[in-house]
Amino acid sequence: MSATKSKSYTVSGSGASYVIILDNDLKIKGIYENNKIVDPTNPQWSTIASSNETGVVWNQLRGTIGQTVQTSPTDITQTFYQSEYNKEINTSTDPKSIESSNNLFYSTGVVADPNKVGNPTQFLSPSSVNYGARSSVSGGSGLTNQTPVVAAYPLDIDLNQDYISFTKFQYQRTDVNMSQPNSVFENKIVGDGSGKYGGTVILPMPKVSDSNGAEWGDSDLNIFGVALAQGFKGAYDSLQPASFTGLQNAVANPFAAAGNVISGAGTFLQNNAGGAAGVMGSIIASRAVKTLGISVNPDELLARATGKIANPNAELLFQGPVLRDFGFQFLMVARSQEEGATIRKIIKWFKQGAAPKYENQALLGTPDVFKLQYSTNKMNKFHQMALRTITVDYAPDGYWAAYGDSQPISVLMNLQFTELKPVYDVDQEQSGDDVGY
């Protein structure tokens, strides 16, 4: 059964005309006011739905009398609203003329969190025509001297939908080693109120993926390497739990420490004397014949003589953490001159953030760093990022297409980020949600 739509009717005291839409269960799933869909999260929606006039129209559509109005579940009303609203805004050719509802970027803005970071007086009022991406100012390398860019694409982006935000900060070091979990750097660079904030850009939700792992590699050791490892293990265990005095003694007496390792290795070889003698013999023989210009691998000699090879004791061993890479691609289509200007401003903002800071002929400053965040906490989180490359294709369709002012109709922007530090287990534990980093 298709959805049922009422005829236009009025509600006492409202001065507007309304149309209600029923779902397959004949419950109200949508309300139009003067041909515009009403947000079900707006209290006005409930007021209209509970009015006597709506009750009469609803009963007429259902063929009932005096029944109390019923509405669809929240997920149905919200989905229907979002679908109809998207149809409304896509019919406009000038995004600036779109009547933004309270959940849109240019009426509520995205500066609520940035205000906590920088100086609130840097930001223009949301009611100002120069607010956000409409501002004539731009954030550059002198982040403390210019009003940071606060921009969004598309201009009429709905912040009730999922999106990704990019916030730029001037790089600064607070420690010689900022790789630790929950380091001072992590807390210092964001929200320190020092005026290093460099603006925020909101873009639609990209293709999302994340990859976590660690670096592992093959390790081979013959019997003599294993013996040294066994000797080192004994020396290492003797220093545990670690003490500064023990460390001082080891540093002050390196020969004594080395002697302990060799002593432990000798004990291990003594317990494996037969096999060790065979391996040592093949190594000595291989080196002896090499003086005659004959190159023979020790394992070849051992295999031909005994049918055995040296045990490589192969293992896969942890070799260190990895720094995660993230790539994002955004296709931006200019639907008006204003939106074209915003696209250019966003591209320049990213380019400035990726560029090294020229100080003088002797020194260069580190490029800006970025904090990335999805609007939903159902996705992975990020550490601070470096923008390694930004690639812009001004003819993504394979041929040049532009408006009369040479503004490309569409551009394809690729951003390649790398996290500044690894993700550790404690980061995952302290992430505060089910997904983590």
Q: What percent of the chain has pLDDT over 70?
A: 62
Other Cβ atoms closer than 10 A to 310: 21
> Residue 133 is which amino acid?
A
pLDDT at 176 over 90: no
Least confident of 89-98, 119-128, 152-161, 256-265: 119-128
The residue-averaged pLDDT of 185-200 equals: 54
Kindly tell me the burial class for residue 268, based on how many C-beta atoms sit within 10 Å of its own C-beta (0-12, 13-18, 19 or more). Answer: buried
Quick: pLDDT tens for 218-264.
888 776 666 666 666 666 666 555 555 555 555 555 444 444 445 54
The residue-averaged pLDDT of 362-377 equals: 87
pLDDT at 216 over 80: yes
Question: Can you give the pLDDT at residue 233?
Answer: 67
pLDDT at 282 over 90: no
Maximum average pLDDT range among 126-135, 187-196, 335-344, 426-435: 335-344
Phi, psi torsion values for 94, nearest 5 degrees = -125, 100
What's the Cα-to-Cα distance from 255 to each of 106, 252, 258, 259, rounded to whole Å?
71, 9, 5, 6
Question: Can you give the pLDDT at residue 103?
Answer: 35
Other Cβ atoms closer than 10 A to 377: 13
Quick: pLDDT tens for 106-150.
443 443 333 333 333 333 333 444 444 333 333 344 433 455 677
**End-to-end CA gap in the chain:** 45
Per-residue confidence at 428, pLDDT binned at 50, 70, 90?
Answer: confident
Quick: pLDDT tens for 329-355.
999 998 888 888 889 999 999 999 999
Least confident of 3-17, 189-203, 283-297: 189-203
Per-residue confidence at 21, pLDDT binned at 50, 70, 90?
Answer: very high
Question: Can you give the pLDDT at residue 280?
Answer: 65
Shortest CA distance to 36 belongs to which of 26, 47, 44, 24? Answer: 44
Per-residue confidence at 184, pLDDT binned at 50, 70, 90?
Answer: very low
Per-residue confidence at 93, pLDDT binned at 50, 70, 90?
Answer: very low
Q: Are 94 and 336 in contact (CB under 8 A)?
A: yes
Looking up tokens 């080196």, which residue turns up?
287
Q: Are 102 and 41 in contact (CB under 8 A)?
A: no
Maximum average pLDDT range among 219-223, 269-273, 401-405, 433-437: 401-405
Helix (H) or strand (E) holding 54: helix 52-62
Q: Are 108 and 127 in contact (CB under 8 A)?
A: no
Question: Can you give the pLDDT at residue 274?
Answer: 58
Question: Can you give the pLDDT at residue 98?
Answer: 39
